[in-house]
Amino acid sequence: MTLETQFKIKSNPLYIKYLHENSHWYKTLNRNPELFDLFVEELKTNYKLRPSDKLNKALSTFEMVSAIISSLNS
């Protein structure tokens, strides 16, 4: 694994956690460090860190709060 890739991984605790949970990425990044962007995309997808995931979470929270408020008004 290149030093640049190692520095990127060590700078973010989520990268380290994801590597521990999905150890096949060690081999993949060792053999082909250019796949780091794919690694980050998979991490964001699995941990639901994409902007669309955050928007969906905010919308569901808003719906829950409005349901609670409407039930309190009844």
Distance CA 42, CA 50 (A): 10
What DSSP state is assigned to residue 9?
Answer: H
Segments forming the whole domain that contains residue 12: 3-73
Distance CA 63, CA 65 (A): 6
Per cent of the chain over pLDDT 70 is 99
Determine if the pTM surpasses 0.85.
Answer: no
pLDDT digits (tens, 9 = 90+) for 10-29: 999 999 999 999 999 999 99
Q: Which amino acid is at 69?
A: I
pLDDT digits (tens, 9 = 90+) for 45-54: 999 888 787 8
How many domains are contained in the chain?
1
Q: Which amino acid is at 57?
A: K
Helix/strand/coil percent split, the chain, to 5: 85, 0, 15
